[in-house]
């Protein structure tokens, strides 16, 4: 291989992404880890061919609610991005409002909110690159941060969160090395999704050990 050809070889790839995430919340919150996971199916498919990833850019906005809130109701939905793994996720309007990368959707608002652009320093997270599939990695090595969404009213409503991002993958992996590729890949994705779900539930619920009575 000559020098000119070797200089052109790159073991990385930029993937632009756009998607809409939706779910029903009833005076509750949800956490969306920014990584190639089941929430972003096209990214999850792409990630299977790479070992590591990072997020080069990210912005999001709330599109609308399932229906306008009752006149006089306080803030209905809020969304914000926080880097790393949070020990205590935001739960009040004040906490959401203090996040620099955040937005609120108030009562009877029918137009999308403004776009929230996440600062690059927050997108980098605690480490430079993250594992596309967790495997034996610790939770902090699997994503740089999360978007948190909360409904502050007692009425169940569907939120719609539009996300635009630029992901970079590196460390090409040949997924066709095994003749059982499709079966192994399905099992791998299922294990990844279950591990991610368990980790998020543990993060949201917090310690379960009861306090000792004095």
Alpha helix positions (H), 48-107: 93-98
Is 152 inside a domain boundary?
yes
Residue 30 counted as domain residue: yes
The string of DSSP codes covering 121-151 is HHHT-SSS-EESS-TT--GGGS-SEEEEEEE
Higher pLDDT, 79 or 68: 79
Instruction: Say if CB 158 and CB 16 are below 8 A apart.
Output: no
Confidence of residue 15 (pLDDT cuts 50, 70, 90): very high
**56 within a domain of the structure (yes/no):** yes
Tell me: pLDDT of 141 over 80: yes
Q: Are strands 102-105 and 116-117 parallel, antiparallel or unpaired?
A: unpaired
Residue 3 lies in a domain: no
What's the CA gap between 164 and 213, in Å, rounded?
A: 49
- Residue 84 counted as domain residue: yes
**Percentage of the chain exceeding pLDDT 70:** 71
- Mean pLDDT estimate for the chain: 80
Residue 28 within a domain: yes
Lowest mean pLDDT among 100-104, 153-157, 174-178: 174-178
Classify residue 8: in a domain, yes or no: no
CATH number of the domain residue 44 falls in: 2.60.120.20
Beta bridge partners of 65: 159
pLDDT band, very low/low/confident/very high, at 161 (cuts 50, 70, 90)? very high
Do you know the residue count of the chain? 214
Higher-confidence position of 171 and 190: 171
Nearest to 37 by CA among 23, 51, 26, 48: 48
Our count of domains for the chain comes to 1
8 A C-beta contact, residue 128 and residue 144: no
Q: Is residue 4 part of a domain?
A: no
Q: Does residue 183 have a pLDDT over 70?
A: no
- For 73, the domain range is 14-205
Q: Torsion angle of alpha carbons 5, 11, 16, 21, nearest 10°?
A: 160
* Residue 32 structure tokens: 């969306």
The dihedral built from the CA positions of residue 127, 130, 131 and 136, taken in this order, carries a sign that is positive
């Amino acid at each position: 291989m000559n020098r000119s050809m070797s200089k052109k070889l790159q073991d990385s790839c930029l993937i632009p992404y756009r998607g809409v995430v939706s779910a029903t919340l009833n005076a509750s919150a949800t956490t969306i880890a920014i990584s190639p996971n089941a929430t972003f199916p096209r990214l999850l498919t792409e990630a299977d061919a790479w070992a590591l990833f990072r997020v080069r850019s990210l912005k999001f906005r709330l599109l609308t609610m399932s229906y306008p809130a009752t006149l006089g109701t306080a803030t209905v939905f809020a969304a914000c991005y926080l880097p790393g793994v949070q020990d205590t996720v935001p739960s009040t309007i004040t906490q959401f409002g203090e996040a620099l990368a955040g937005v609120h959707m108030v009562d009877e608002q029918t137009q999308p909110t403004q776009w929230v652009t996440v600062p690059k320093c927050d997108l980098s997270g605690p480490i430079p690159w993250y594992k596309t599939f967790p495997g034996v990695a610790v939770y902090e090595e699997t994503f740089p941060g999360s978007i948190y969404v909360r409904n502050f009213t007692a009425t169940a409503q569907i939120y719609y969160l539009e996300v635009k991002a630029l992901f970079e993958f590196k460390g090409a992996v040949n997924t066709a090395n095994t003749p059982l590729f499709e079966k192994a890949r399905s099992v791998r994705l299922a294990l990844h999704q279950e591990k991610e779900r368990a980790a998020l539930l543990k993060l949201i619920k917090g310690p379960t050990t009861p306090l000792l009575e004095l």
